[in-house]
Amino acid sequence: MVNKVSIVGAGAVGSALAFHLFSRLSFKEIAVVDVAEGLAKGVSLDIEDTRSFFDSSTQIIGTDDFCAISNSDIVVVTAGVARKDGMSRQDLLKINAKVAKDVSMHIKEHAPSAIVIVVTNPLDLITYIFAKETGFERNRVLGMGSSLDSARLLNILYEACKVSTSCFEAFVFGLHNNDMIVSTDKIRVKGEAVSKFLNKEAIKKIQDKTALRGGEIVSFLKNRSASFAPSFSIFRLIEAIYEDKNEIIPVCALLQGEYGLRNLCVGVPCVINRKGIEKIIEIELTEEEKQKILIAKKEFLQLKDLGL
Ligand code: NAI
């Protein structure tokens, strides 16, 4: 049973997620926590006022007190700074690594049995910090990134082929940044290779567009990043846990030898159920993908530079 979900960070992504959860699933409690005074409280009261529309009996509370996350089954972390136009990833890492250490400490103290879903960017590195700082078993710390990238790929495929997204089998894995692996090789349209529908040039465009989508959105929004698709991607992950679905979803997981990588977090297809990550699936990679997934090793050197 998932009785309680806590969301740390009541900004754009956290507040949208709180609303999806309140309006679509039933819990004993949703707790929203944010260091910004009054923010989580305001968000929770606003969401609570939709109760009659959904006939919801879920209690939702908002506070700046971390004690509120006590006894959570799931804690989602959207706390930190979002990438703004012109901000370097290293700057973002410095700020959010500090937040991650702080929030990990609170989770360890107040919600030691929770499954932690990390959303804060840079996703792969921040997920690793949570895995290390909480010391939780690796099935209980996962990052949401590749499932959002996969949703973006499906939308872009829809635009290119004008075929219902339900006809596609397609997913993205690897790092949650421009080096993500958009495996066009594995895309199927009702069982057929996508190359039957699109030429090489069109497929390459789809790959590039998917990898650059997050940045494209930031370039328009300027001082904030995407929130609708991210919050719904987290919702889908929680739903798979809530319903014990054994669904295969690409999530950022701590690898211990899988894909030739050890002691780092990267997006890979996993079976998701009530335990969090039930199983990491090792799919066959092309030579190009094998090289690309190894970029994660370089990415993780940044943590060493910060003494983490
Ligand atoms: P936002 O700026 O709207 O919200 C962040 C919230 O975190 C703020 O309300 C802030 O007060 C709060 N916060 C900061 N430090 C905190 C702490 N120590 N404890 C509790 N709360 C704290 O940002 P937004 O747009 O909601 O994004 C949140 C994070 O998620 C960012 O790092 C962003 O880059 C990331 N993100 C990740 C995605 C993914 O696919 N993994 C997709 C979209 C966003």
> What pLDDT does residue 152 have?
98
106 in active site: no
Mutate to test the pocket of ligand 1, among 121, 141, 217, 224 (most ligand atoms within 8 A of CB): 121
CA 82 to centroid of ligand 1, rounded, Å: 6
Q: Note the pLDDT tens digit of each residue in 217-246.
A: 999 998 889 999 999 999 999 999 999 999
Mean pLDDT score across all residues of the chain = 96
Q: Which of 97, 116, 145 is a domain's end point?
A: 145
Distance 260 CA to ligand 1 centre (A): 31
Residue 308 clears pLDDT 80, i.e. is over it: no
pLDDT for position 91: 86
Same domain, residue pair 114 and 161:
no
- Mark whether 166 and 282 lie in a shared domain: yes
The residue type found at 78 is T
Confirm or reject: Cβ of 224 under 6 Å from ligand 1: yes
| Cα–chain center distance at 121 | 9
Query: According to the model, what pLDDT value does residue 86 have?
Result: 76
Predicted local confidence at residue 304, as pLDDT: 83
Asked whether residue 180 carries a pLDDT value surpassing 90, the answer given is yes
In this predicted structure, what is the pLDDT of residue 88? 73
| Stretch 87-108: mean pLDDT | 92
User: Is 113 in the same domain as 156?
Assistant: no
Number of domains making up the chain = 2
Share of the chain above pLDDT 70, in %: 100
Q: Are residues 86 and 98 in the same domain?
A: yes
CATH number, domain with residue 155:
3.90.110.10
Based on the fold, state whether residues 22 and 88 are members of the same structural domain: yes
Alpha helices in the chain (DSSP H): 12-24, 39-48, 51-54, 89-110, 123-134, 146-161, 200-221, 228-242, 287-293, 295-299, 301-305
Enclosing domain of residue 46: 4-145
Task: Round to whole Å and give the CA distance between 190 and 169.
Answer: 8
DSSP 148-196: HHHHHHHHHHHHHH---GGGEE--EEB-SSTT-EE-GGG-EETTEEGGG
Residues 28 and 58 in one domain: yes
Task: Give the count of beta carbons closer than 10 Å to the beta carbon of residue 113.
Answer: 9
Ligand 1, atom 3, lies closest to the CA of 11
State pTM to two decimals. 0.97
DSSP lists the bridge partners of residue 117 as: 76, 142
The pLDDT, as a whole number, for residue 164 is 96
Confidence of residue 83 (pLDDT cuts 50, 70, 90): confident
Q: 243-255: per-residue pLDDT in tens? A: 999 999 999 999 9
Together in a domain, 77 and 171? no
pLDDT band per the 50, 70, 90 thresholds, residue 87: confident
Co-location of 67 and 200 in the same domain: no
106 lines ligand 1 (CB under 6 A): no
* Mean pLDDT, range 101-115, rounded to an integer: 98
* Strands 74-77 vs 115-118: parallel, antiparallel or unpaired: parallel
- Phi, psi dihedral angles at 263 (to 5 degrees): 60, 40
The pLDDT score that the predictor gives to residue 223 is: 86
Confidence band, pLDDT 50/70/90 cuts, at residue 75: very high
Which amino acid residue places its CA nearest to atom 42 of ligand 1?
Answer: 230
Asked if residue 262 has pLDDT above 90, the reply is: yes
Residue nearest to atom 29 of ligand 1 (CA): 120
Put the strands of the sheet holding 141-143 in their side by side order: 59-63, 29-33, 4-8, 74-77, 115-118, 141-143, 247-256, 262-273, 276-280
107 pocket-lining for ligand 1 (C-beta < 6 Å): no
In the reported structure, the alpha carbon of residue 13 is separated from the centroid of ligand 1 by a whole-number distance in angstroms of 7
CATH, residue 32: 3.40.50.720
Do 222 and 279 fall within a single domain? yes
Nearest CA to ligand 1 atom 31: 82
Catalytic residue among 20, 106, 110, 176: 176
Express each pLDDT in 119-162 by its tens digit: 999 999 999 999 999 999 999 999 999 999 999 999 999 999 99
Ligand 1 in contact with 120 (CB < 6 A)? yes
Q: Do 37 and 124 fall into the same domain?
A: yes
Residues 210 and 300 in one domain: yes
Q: Residue 250: name the closest of 264, 263, 231, 237 by CA.
A: 237
> Average pLDDT of 17-23?
98
What was the pLDDT predicted at 30?
98
**Structure letter (DSSP) for residue 120:** P
The region of weakest confidence among 87-96, 113-122, 239-248 is 87-96
Residues 150, 22 within the same domain? no
Among 115, 145, 175, the domain-final residue is 145
